Amino acid sequence: MTISEAFSEVCRRVPEKVAVTDGDVEGDPAKGRPRSFSYAALGAVAAGIARLVASTTDRQHVGMMLPGCKEFPAVFFGLGLAGRIPTPLNFLLHKDELGYIVKDSGLDTIITSEYFRPILAQLPLKLIVLEEVAPKLAAASARPAAAGTSTGPAPEVAALLYTSGTTGYPKGVMLTHENLLSNVKDCKEYVGFHEGQVFLGILPLFHSFALTCSMLVPLLSGGSVVLMKKFHPARVAEAISDMGINVLLGIASQFRALATPRHGAAPDRAAKTCTAVGKRPHSLEICVAGGEALPEDVRVSFERAFEVPLHEGYGMTESAPVVSVNTRAASKPGTVGRPLPSVSVKIVDDAGREVAPDLDGEILVRGPNVMKGYLNQPEATRTAVCAEGWLRTGDIGRLDADGFLRITGRKKEMILSSGENIFPSEIERCLLEHPAVAECAVVGVIDTVRGEAPKAFVVLREGQKSTESELRDYARGRIAAYKVPKCVEFRTELPHGPTGKVLKKNLK
């Protein structure tokens, strides 16, 4: 089954049910812009997009540059109906980076909104601007019989997602229908997602975590999703309270903002509002943090504020993306849970030998969710996925005796100091336990004696003070001496990418 076939089946099964809602934009009936799409309307608009694309370009890859809005899934499914491969683009990239993706993917058409026209107009592209074709799409939404109409054969690849590019030019990850559908099925069965739930999408949908878990899981299940263009803590809290949200998926920094005032700035009234809303009765059932490590203080503060468990999961774009996750039925804080039912995980040493439980090594993943490969990069694909189908994640971790996975570092971020391996995440976790530290990141810097040594960049909590010597002494009392940061640099903020991860290449 293809994603388009699965989506069309849901449209036929629950045509009148609300599928997707704009969470931060009021509809304007006078202009024919409803706030929500039913499944029948969503399917019909998708079919309209398919016909429009078929008459515009014959290229296999078609770009999407859209915020979180009800039109995003219509475009995504519409491209599938047209037999094309959706290529969601990170709208925070520089035009030169976008130009690289355009050239690498071979696309000549992007579906976008008026807001992004200025940056895309600088590239040699055909633009389908949703505001300009709105009348056609509005007419299409009135023809529910069009839902499920396919205008072209489906390719094996269902989506082309470009990695964040934090270590160089991004690579195009080719995810097949089987990759995505197997991950959706596993998430539903293992986590407990079902069609009666309302999801809230607060992450950009060009991110694999959001695409699979905040969009495909609910819309291929017959559930509902509320999508937001931007993350505003107070608006999220209002949506949770007013729109009956059951499932909230995000990154640790978003959950921190929802539970506590922001650090490093004046008290955040929006975050305080969220905390207040969290203390009132609400409909939240499942909250999952992914995309970055979940600090213990964030988990505890969120659970205290909202009185619902916050579970941590793990994945990557190349695995479509979920590998493991904690659930109500099986949870161990500090880990990223057990692997999904159809996913296998093993830990290997530098020689590729599987290690015993509770020993660190590189995390390898195998299953129907593992990507087909990187577009135009066969050598990189062979390096990432071995002949037996194991995906080398580049992450360091350990499996305990109960099968729970713990992330302990990143192989590519490893610091080699006087022959000793140092993983920045261990130092970061130590410094984050200091009461004055709100956020930190550790990178390796050149050291004439040791070859390389760790350096810490630290953001202090509002109203707190500390010194370099104090933090180094604090670390020295908790980790091995060779792991203590050589120096500490204080910042008012750290550079973050679109999904919230600290951009360590910028710090280096």
Each residue's pLDDT tens digit, 46-75: 999 999 999 999 999 999 999 999 999 999
pLDDT given at position 401: 97
Mean pLDDT, the chain, rounded, equals 90
pLDDT of 281 over the 90 cut: no
Q: Which residue has the higher pLDDT, 123 or 268?
A: 123
pLDDT of 29 over the 50 cut: no
pLDDT of 31 over the 60 cut: no
- What is the CA angle 135-140-146, rounded to 5? 170
Which band of pLDDT confidence, cut at 50, 70 and 90, is reported for residue 243? very high
Q: Which residue has the higher pLDDT, 166 or 446?
A: 446
In percent, how much of the chain has pLDDT > 90?
Answer: 75
pLDDT given at position 76: 98
Separation between Cα atoms, residue 466 and residue 487, nearest integer Å: 14
Separation between Cα atoms, residue 250 and residue 333, nearest integer Å: 17
> What is the average pLDDT across 435-453?
91
Lowest mean pLDDT among 159-173, 260-274, 315-329, 470-484: 260-274
What pTM did the predictor assign?
A: 0.85
pLDDT given at position 143: 61
Q: Is 172 helix (H, G, I), strand (E, B) or coil?
A: strand
Each residue's pLDDT tens digit, 379-418: 999 999 998 999 999 999 999 999 999 999 877 788 888 7
Partners of 20 in beta bridges? 37, 225
Separation between Cα atoms, residue 18 and residue 8, nearest integer Å: 15
Which of 3.40.50.970, 3.30.300.30, 1.10.10.10, 2.40.30.10 would CATH assign to domain 418-507? 3.30.300.30
DSSP 55: T
Which band of pLDDT confidence, cut at 50, 70 and 90, is reported for residue 93? confident
Each residue's pLDDT tens digit, 286-312: 999 998 889 898 999 999 999 999 999
pLDDT given at position 272: 65
CB-based contact 23:205 (threshold 8 Å)? no
pLDDT of 257 over the 50 cut: yes
pLDDT of 195 over the 60 cut: yes
Each residue's pLDDT tens digit, 349-373: 999 999 999 999 999 999 999 999 9
Do 3-20+34-176 and 418-507 have matching folds?
no
Q: Which residue has the higher pLDDT, 446 or 28?
A: 446
Separation between Cα atoms, residue 236 and residue 227, nearest integer Å: 10
> What is the average pLDDT across 241-268?
79
Quickly tell me which residue has 């992004």 as its tokens: 116
Separation between Cα atoms, residue 221 and residue 154, nearest integer Å: 21
Lowest mean pLDDT among 166-170, 483-487, 492-496: 166-170
What is the CATH number assigned to the segment(s) 3-20+34-176?
3.40.50.12780
pLDDT given at position 501: 84
Separation between Cα atoms, residue 501 and residue 499, nearest integer Å: 6
pLDDT given at position 262: 54
pLDDT given at position 269: 58
Each residue's pLDDT tens digit, 200-242: 999 999 999 999 999 999 999 999 999 999 999 999 999 998 9
> What is the average pLDDT across 157-175?
82
pLDDT given at position 252: 87
pLDDT of 319 over the 50 cut: yes
Of 151, 98, 148, 149, residue with least CA distance to 125: 98
Q: Say which CATH superfamily domain 336-410 falls into.
A: Luciferase; Domain 3 (2.30.38.10)
What CA–CA distances, in Å, run from 21 to 24, 119, 220? 9, 27, 16
pLDDT given at position 145: 45
pLDDT given at position 265: 43
Other CB atoms within 10 A of residue 507 CB: 17
Which band of pLDDT confidence, cut at 50, 70 and 90, is reported for residue 448? confident
Of 414, 403, 441, residue with least CA distance to 350: 414
pLDDT given at position 102: 97
Of 39, 109, 102, residue with least CA distance to 74: 39
pLDDT given at position 282: 79
Domain spans, the chain? 3-20+34-176, 336-410, 418-507
Other CB atoms within 10 A of residue 500 CB: 16
Strand order in the sheet with 109-112: 85-88, 61-65, 109-112, 126-129
Separation between Cα atoms, residue 27 and residue 29, nearest integer Å: 6
pLDDT given at position 168: 57
